[in-house]
Every structure is written in structure tokens, then in C-alpha cells.
Amino acid sequence: MTDSEHKEGEVTEPEIQKAEDIQESMETGAWERLLGCTWKTPLGFFGVGLTTISITLIVLGLIGHLSGLIANHYFAIFTFLFLPAIMMFGLCLIPISCYFRRKKWFKDSLINSEHLKIDLADKHHRKGIVLFIVLSVINITVLILVAYEGYHFTDSSYFCGVVCHQVMDPEYTAYQRSPHAKVSCVACHIGPGANWYVQAKLSGLRQVKAVIDGNFSRPIPAPVEHLRPARDTCESCHWPEKFHGKKVKEFISFNNGNQSDAEVQEIALRIGGRNPVTDAFEGIHWHVSRDIKVEYQALDETRTKIGNVKVTKPEGVTEEYALSNNIPDEGVTLKWRTMDCIDCHNRPTHIYDELEQIIDFGLYSKKLTPEIDGIREDSITVLQMEYSCRDEATEKIVEDLLELMAKRHGNDFVAEHEKELIRSGTFLLEAYLNNVWPKMKVTWGTYRQHLGHQKADEGYGCFRCHDDEHETKFGKVIRQDCDMCHDEPE
């Protein structure tokens, strides 16, 4: 026999494999072949293994989380976000592997291509169905528990503040010492309802990508452009109609020449709201009363420059106060915004200290020793120094205060008052760490409040609108009279 004849008569390896597959299909039923594919194919075996390992780790993670044995945000992310995704991926691989395996049978075998059938009279089928139901119940139960705990974890203030540590550390630190420290982040940033929840989660994906890429703003821009209206969030607790009367606010200040005798100024603010006697809205909260609608056009992204203002009164009359120089900054589109709580209380939770105010508080509370001459001026100098990072500030702030005091009074003075100076330096360090993040470009004055008009020269506060310059075509202006909001200072 020639080589060519031998090759023609030779049975090739693919033909042998095909014959074996045909024989296998004749000897086994469709269900046995279908279930067998989960471990007879690499893809199916991988899917089963991946699912088994991930669901085991999820159960262990849930036990650790619910029992409080493990309290780590990275562990929670691994348990509630990463492992469920791996589990679902593994579950999807199993039917996919079966599909490709069965497709191969129909292609290679026309002898035994019966359809899958469920025969409850067959004990093997009954056992298979029971096993399938049990495994499905286990999988669904685990996924429901993970989804429930994961939902609460991703809605927690801890998740918002700690997971994106570098980005959110300034806001989270300020939040923890704020009047709203016991209110969850989502209560204000999302509020009730599925619509805003979905919007927030979709927006969160974009923000996660920005954090991963390192392509996020430093500092975080304020105000938040797409924040939910305050009437849907703030007014769930703070009902403007129930505010009325006055509130006395105390302002305490010192100066470099007088560190011991505080200048105290008390002002009775006319908080306003609905007057229970006249049923009329009055005072500061008139702006957000139920019968008044105030709208304005911001000329810049920070809303420190206000253009035209519209006021719609109960009788339906609308007054528009125009500004002669109503020219927006480059890239800013003029659009009407309805005024709400956040336009005045723009830092209701993430409150940062003003530099001189925190120094004066230190003197008033004796955390800075007022008897040491020049400590106010030197404290301001120390807190205004530029440090590359917070770790460097932690190492140097106390030392820098001691050096400035030594230059002012000499080394012997510093040695004599070392204890008081170290205590004062520790207070300055705490103030710095509560307000300054060099890597996020957050420093003194980065975030300021619109309450009052102490920073009116920088565009903050009431005088954005109350400037006697916003005028109707009939000559009526938005007045700047002091008695509109408070009594004469005492």
C-alpha cells in the first residue's frame, strides 16, 4: 500500500472524537449531557468554581459584617460590591457553557438530538429539580442579603466620606463636627424617592471614574450644581412656617493690641417666618415663605455675583429687579434659579472656620494663652504658612510657633512658658487639621458662608442682592437697610 493510499484509509483524530461523541450521545440522555457539561468543559468548571468560592466568601463576609467582627470599608467593598459581581459572572458562565456544549451535539450528531424533557416519574429528574430549587433559594437569599446590606453600606455617611478618602476627607471632617453630624449624607444629597436615588447612583459612577483617573477638581467646586432642591430635603425637618421671632447672635473678637478684653457684639436677628398673630410671613425667612417666590440669575459659577432678580407675590404680581451690569462671566449661561435655603445657608453641614474667628475663639476659651504678648499675631502667621501636606503641618506647627515666640521674646521666655506654648500650638494644629488640606487645595477662606454680610467685599452674603443697585423699571430697589434683618447692634 502506497503512502497516499494509507493516508486515504487512515482514520483521523477528529473523526475518532466525533465517533466517540456520537456514541456518548447515544448512551446518555439529554439531561445527563447537559448537567455533565458543567464539569466536563473548562468554561463550565470555571463557572462552578467561581460561583462556589465567591458565595462562600460572601457568606463569611456577611457573618463578619453583621456580627461586627470586621469593620473595614475595604472589606465591605469587597463583600458587597466585588464578590457579588464575581458570583453573578460565575452563574452566567454555567448556562453559557451548557449552550455551547449542546450546540456542538446538534452539529455533530443527527442520531440522538432529542429535546430536554422533565419527567417527574424519574427519580433522577426529581432529585435534580430539588437540588436546583435548593441551590436557587440559597443563591437568591444570599444575593438579597448582600443587596440589602450593600444598599445600606453605599448609602452610609461612612461610605461617602471614607471610601473616596483623599477627595472627600475635607467634607467628611467638616461634616463630623457640624450640627448635622447625626444626619446621613444621603438625607440631604439625595433625599427620599427612587428617582433621585437612581440619578445619584448614576452620577456616582461618573465620580468614581474621575477618582480612579485622578481627574477630579481640587478643591471640590461649590455650590453643588445639581443638588436636590432644599424644599425636598431641608424642609423635611426645618419647616419655615414654624419659624418666628428673633434670635440673639453673639460676635466675639480680639485684635493684636488687645488679647485679653474681648469685644462682644450682640445682634438680635429677625428670623421671621409666619407670624401666628397676623398670619403674615416676615423677617429673614420671608424669602422662602409659601406665598413668595424669589428667582435670580447668577453671573458666576459660585453664585457670589447676582444679576437680575424676580419676586412673585401672593396676588400674582411679579417684580423684576434688574442690574445695570448684568454681564455673566465667560462660560456662564444666564438661567433662572428659584431661591431656597441653600442660597443663604450654603454651608449648613460642611462648615469651615474663618482664620481670625478661630484664633479669637482660642483666646476667649483660653486654649491660646492671652497673657503671652503677640500670640494672636504669631498664631495667625503660623496658620497661614504653606505646608506641603498635613503630615508636615503636624510635625512643624508647634515648632514654628515656638520659633516665632523665641524671635519675639527670646529663648529663655520660651523655655519658661514652654507648657503654655505647646498647649497653644496643639490648639493651632487642631484648627489647621480641621480646615486645611494642601493636596486638595483647601485652605482658609476656600469655602465661605453667605450668612450675614461680614465678607460682603468678597461677594458673600446678603449684599449680593441687597445692594440698593438692583432696581425695577419703576425705580424700586432691593434695599440694604439694616433693620430689615436685625435690630441695631448692642
In tens digits, the chain (490 residues) has pLDDT values of 455 444 455 556 655 555 555 444 444 454 555 555 565 677 777 888 888 888 888 888 878 777 767 666 667 777 877 888 888 888 888 788 777 766 665 454 434 445 556 667 777 767 777 877 888 888 788 888 877 777 777 777 877 777 766 788 899 999 999 999 988 888 888 888 777 777 777 777 777 777 777 788 889 888 887 788 888 888 888 877 777 788 899 999 999 999 999 999 999 999 888 888 888 888 888 888 888 899 999 999 999 999 999 999 888 889 999 998 889 999 899 999 999 999 999 999 999 999 999 999 999 999 999 999 999 999 999 999 999 999 999 999 999 999 999 999 999 999 999 999 999 999 999 999 999 999 999 999 999 999 989 888 889 999 999 999 999 999 999 999 888 888 887 6
- 235 located within any domain: no
Q: What CA–CA distances, in Å, run from 273 to 16, 250, 379? A: 90, 21, 41
- 227 located within any domain: no
Q: What is the full DSSP assignment across 449-462?
A: --SSSTTGGGT-SG
Peptide bond just before 223 cis, omega within 30 deg: yes
Residue 301: its pLDDT value, please? 92
Burial of residue 489, with CB atoms counted within 10 A of its CB: 0-12 exposed, 13-18 middle, 19 or more buried: exposed
Residue 401: its pLDDT value, please? 96
- 6 located within any domain: no
| Residues 296 and 388 grouped into a single domain | no
Kindly state the helix (H) or strand (E) to which residue 306 belongs, with its residue range.
Answer: strand 306-312
| Residues 476 and 344 grouped into a single domain | yes
| Residues 332 and 211 grouped into a single domain | no
Return the DSSP state at 101: H
Q: 3-class SS at 387?
A: coil
- 28 located within any domain: yes
Mode of pairing for the β-strands spanning 258-270 and 246-255: antiparallel
Query: What amino acid occupies position 211?
Result: V
Q: What CA–CA distances, in Å, run from 251 to 92, 101, 147? A: 65, 79, 49
Q: Which of 183, 171, 186 is nearest to 222 (CA)?
A: 171
Instruction: Provide the number of structural domains found in the chain.
Output: 4
Query: Distance between alpha carbon 440 and the CA centroid of its chain, in Å?
Result: 15
**Distance between CA atoms of 89 and 338, rounded to whole angstroms?**
46
Q: What is the full DSSP assignment across 309-348?
A: EEEE-TTS-EEEEB-TT--PPTTPPP-EEE--GGGT-S-S
Residue with cell 485652605: 443
Cβ neighbors of 439 (< 8 A, separation 6 or more) are 166, 218, 389
**Distance between CA atoms of 427 and 379, rounded to whole angstroms?**
10
Residue 36: its pLDDT value, please? 54
| Residues 84 and 15 grouped into a single domain | yes
| Residues 213 and 304 grouped into a single domain | no
| Residues 373 and 309 grouped into a single domain | no
Residue 15: its pLDDT value, please? 55
| Residues 288 and 260 grouped into a single domain | yes
| Residues 252 and 335 grouped into a single domain | yes
- 42 located within any domain: yes
Mode of pairing for the β-strands spanning 258-270 and 293-298: unpaired
| Residues 148 and 162 grouped into a single domain | no
- 306 located within any domain: yes
Q: Which of 211, 196, 133 is nearest to 165 (CA)?
A: 211
Q: What is the full DSSP assignment across 208-261?
A: HHHHHHT---SSPPSS-TTPPPGGGTGGGT--GGG--SEEEEEEEEEETTEEEE
Residue 335: its pLDDT value, please? 93
Q: Which of 432, 440, 438 is nearest to 219 (CA)?
A: 440
Q: What is the full DSSP assignment across 356-373?
A: HHHHHHHHHTTSS-TTST
The b/e string for 76-97 (b: 16+ C-beta within 10 A; e otherwise) is: bbebbeebbebbeebbebbeeb
Q: Which of 108, 125, 154 is the last residue of a domain?
A: 154
| Residues 200 and 271 grouped into a single domain | no
Query: Distance between alpha carbon 394 and the CA centroid of its chain, in Å?
Result: 27
- 2 located within any domain: no
Q: Which domain holds residue 393?
A: 355-440
Q: Which of 97, 92, 84 is nearest to 53 (CA)?
A: 84
| Residues 150 and 28 grouped into a single domain | yes
Main-chain phi, psi angles of 399, to 5 degrees = -65, -40
CB 305 within 8 A of CB 460: no
| Residues 267 and 208 grouped into a single domain | no
Residue 103: its pLDDT value, please? 63
- 471 located within any domain: yes
Residue 160: its pLDDT value, please? 78
Return the DSSP state at 270: E
Q: Which of 154, 177, 193 is the last residue of a domain?
A: 154
**Distance between CA atoms of 387 and 398, rounded to whole angstroms?**
13
CB 437 within 8 A of CB 168: no
Residue 145: its pLDDT value, please? 80
